[in-house]
Amino acid sequence: MAENIQNLLARMTLQEKLLLLAGESTWRTAQIPRLGVPKLKVSDGPSGARGEIFGESVPATFFPSGVSLGATWDVELMYEVGQAIAEQTKTKSASVILAPTMCIHRHPLGGRNFESFSEDPFLTGKLASAHVKGVQSKGIGATPKHFVANDQETDRFKYNAVIAERALREIYLLPFQMVVRDADPWCMMSSYNMVNGKHCDSSRELLEGIVRNEWGWQGVVMSDWGGTNTTVEAINAGLDLEFPGPPLRRSKQLLESALAESRIDLDQVEKSAGRVLRLLQRTGRFEHAPDEPEYCQNDDQTRELVLRAATGGIVMLKNDVGALPLRPSERISRIAVLGPNAKRVVAGGGGSSYINAPYWTNVYDSLKEAFKGTETEFVFATGAKVHRHLPTAPLHVLTDPVSAIPGAAVEWHLGHDLSGQPVTTTHIDDLYYICFGTTPPEIGVETGYSFRVRTILRPLSSGLHQLSLASIGPSTMSIDGKVVSSQSGSIHERAELFFQYGSTEDKFSLNLVQGQDYEVQIDYHSHDRQLHPEYEALMLPMEDKFQGIRFGYEEQDAEDLPSTAAAVAAECDAAVVVVGRDKEWETEGQDIPTFELPGQQVRLIQEVSNVCKRVIVVIQAGTPVEMTKWIDGVQGVLYTWYQGQELGNAAAAILTGSQDATGRLPVTFPKRLPDCPAYPSFSGEQKTIQYSEGIFVGYRWWDMTETAPLFPIGYGMSYTKFALTPMDISTTTLRRDTRLTLTVRVDNLGGFTGPGRQTIIAWLAPKGITRLQRPKKQVCAFEKSDSLVLGESIEVKLEMDAYPFGVFDLEKGLWVVDANTEFDILVGTTAVDATPCWTVEVPKEISWIHKISA
């Protein structure tokens, strides 16, 4: 393999090698037909293989979010999910998937936390490694991201994370080091931000010094999209591939200038080109290089896996007086399913990981289906407004005037002014429409174009309705020929919509009549900000590639929604209140603005709990929310995270007890934000974030400060009762080549007729004073038991080696386990019930830089 690549490199010109170091288009690498070097397509992302189109894409399986997968604590499941996502990637003619996301949950308001697994680096590294192995077992390249310390979205392109080296090594780099050591990913993606004053894509210390020289990894490092910040420095630092293309920093003109001044390290060019060629070889592109139309594969086996993964991630936080399960066999006359998320599809957070699924489920429909054939009556009330912006205009009030189906027509024009006849017309369902490098073929890559969105609006009621317009470039909205709103498209008026590229939302009111047709027209002109030199310093990465409009619409509603829902619940035997956030509250491009459930949801829960004796709250969110104002008044709480296309069926399975609740928290749930380790520094000041908590991230902080969280990491209730009994440890002496095996018996003591599984967590805790500061304890192993029925027992084995015991010694530049140290090994299910079981001694120093050698 290496010999073939060297022969190919020897035949390439310098210009051809440089051509390989940047994308040819948004999702494809460059090709060199002269030498038979094919292009390669990549695809987002962590929740499934979306394909190359935002929004109106070919459907793809929508898997649970990363934090929900983290809540399974299930390495084998992660491998299966990786395999399934690889097969989905093939349906999009792609050879690399841009996943997994494996940044640390440093603060509960991190906007993209939902994509990542955990606050704990060890758990993150283990799950990510299994995911990568699963993906690559199917011949698809995985791309762990974002390297490194991409732990917030505020100022994500420019912030500087100031991190002490021990914290950088032991918390933020460690998961990537584990995935390199255990899974050898074929790719890795650099992050947008700076670390200690240097952008990650241009950091020779990170890429060349640590990743290449220390870790010995030779996969492809690609930039995040628009995240290549320099021409010369990034190449010399070892960033192999700039995305998207056509390149901004590696354009022919910039490269020729740098070469003429001898500023580019040609050895690095050779190495990077070789790594890209090796990726093409690993993915089989030289033998078979398809780039066929994308298609949807929606098979029973994948649907079953998604449901199993989604169900396995749901965490039961409270279940008083047998509030759960709601058994169809019970004589429940009436169940209220309430809340803004009860009938909505809240499948994932917003941004590049969102998928257009082949089908959707919601809690109301799935729970009602579970009671099919019974006499139980189901009632519904919205209960609360929760939207951050006006909701996008729903399909059931819109008609495409061209195709006469729900949605809107988009008429495309060459040139800015919408003159002449449209060159083509397309259809959209979603009136939050983003065009990202995906104009129709008739438009091509023209920089100056315009489009007109046309739809027929038919209100369901009469009254003073709310409408809004937002866009990236200049736009005008007309209704029945009269202009009602416009946006300047100024770069100075950016807000949180459209990945922060778009305008503020212009809201206005109109009196509309029920059943009457209104012709809505939105004229949009591409902004072409890249053509204005005065904008260069103000433009965000990829700003030239994003275009789009958003049409918001809400009919008049003066009803007191929480009170109405409470009145409904008062007549019911049980109330399931489905609350949380959605993809406009938790999204790529911005952090979460509030810890509390947004909108009227807290009052909804409080009012319902005042009138109903059996209230179960179902929370759909990617991070913890504030609960202290209402949790004591309800009987049950399920945390369902974001579950993709099976969110409704998974929630119904746990609510009805057809499946046991086996999810366990992968993050600590605080009582209040000031208790959190990153509270003083998140989200920074003047684009600088001091990681002042050091190595004390997550549960380590709560241990050190002796602060009680609302729920500790590892917490989760089951319908059955388990007992753990530590049985044996293979050795109590830790040496360089030791592999410790812990044996723990798990007993199912009953309370639930169906099978259940328990998560066992092992922790290491240093005894006495240590030379280098350590957490009181940290996760060193975990295992998910097999399913156990009532009265059954099983012995579970937890395997560990010396790696989790190490700390990074700054003076030695090595990972070290000091001689003559002792560690207690604790076993339990959470950070607060871990019990010391054995003591392990270390007679001789163990040290390593990447791998422990004999």
Residues forming the active site: 224
Residues in CB range of 267: below 8 A, 6 or more apart: none
Q: Count the Cβ atoms, other than its own, within 10 Å of residue 532.
A: 12
Instruction: Write a three-state SS string for 249-302.
Output: CCCHHHHHHHHHCCCCCHHHHHHHHHHHHHHHHHCCCCCCCCCCCCCCCCCHHH
The answer for 210, left when phi > 0, alpha when psi is -120 to 50, beta otherwise, is: alpha
Task: Specify whether the CB–CB gap between 147 and 191 falls below 8 A.
Answer: yes
Residues pairing with 744 in the sheet: 726, 796
d(C-alpha 209, C-alpha 76), whole Å: 33
d(C-alpha 266, C-alpha 18), whole Å: 10
Task: Specify whether the CB–CB gap between 100 and 146 falls below 8 A.
Answer: no
Residue type, 110: G
Task: Specify whether the CB–CB gap between 67 and 116 falls below 8 A.
Answer: yes
State the residue for tokens 């495309």. 412
Task: At 626, list the tokens.
Answer: 């504030």
The torsion of the CA quartet 182, 188, 191, 196, rounded to 10 degrees, works out to: 60
d(C-alpha 753, C-alpha 383), whole Å: 35
Check the CA dihedral 536-539-541-544 and report its sign. negative
Phi, psi of 79 (to 5 degrees): -65, -45
Task: At 419, list the tokens.
Answer: 């003159």
d(C-alpha 296, C-alpha 50), whole Å: 10
d(C-alpha 142, C-alpha 45), whole Å: 10
Task: Specify whether the CB–CB gap between 173 and 148 falls below 8 A.
Answer: yes
Task: Specify whether the CB–CB gap between 106 and 153 falls below 8 A.
Answer: no
Residue type, 787: S
DSSP H or E run through 653? helix 647-656
Check the CA dihedral 411-413-417-420 and report its sign. negative
The DSSP line for 510-549 is EEE-TT--EEEEEEEE---GGG-GGGTTTPPTTTTTEEEE
Which candidate, 815, 718, 702, places its Cα nearest to that of 759? Answer: 718
Q: Count the Cβ atoms, other than its own, within 10 Å of residue 705.
A: 11
DSSP H or E run through 710? none
The torsion of the CA quartet 116, 117, 122, 126, rounded to 10 degrees, works out to: -100
Instruction: Write a three-state SS string for 734-775.
Output: CCCCCCEEEEEEEEEEECCCCCECCEEEEEEEECCCCCCCCC
Phi, psi of 235 (to 5 degrees): -65, -45
In the three-class reduction of DSSP (H, G, I as helix; E, B as strand; rest coil), residue 493 is classed as: helix
d(C-alpha 691, C-alpha 827), whole Å: 30
In eight-state DSSP terms, residue 171 is: I
d(C-alpha 23, C-alpha 13), whole Å: 18
Q: Count the Cβ atoms, other than its own, within 10 Å of residue 849.
A: 16
Task: At 186, list the tokens.
Answer: 């074929």
Task: At 556, list the tokens.
Answer: 């008049």
Whether residue 45 has a cis bond before it, omega within 30° of 0: yes
d(C-alpha 838, C-alpha 781), whole Å: 14
Task: At 343, list the tokens.
Answer: 């009938």
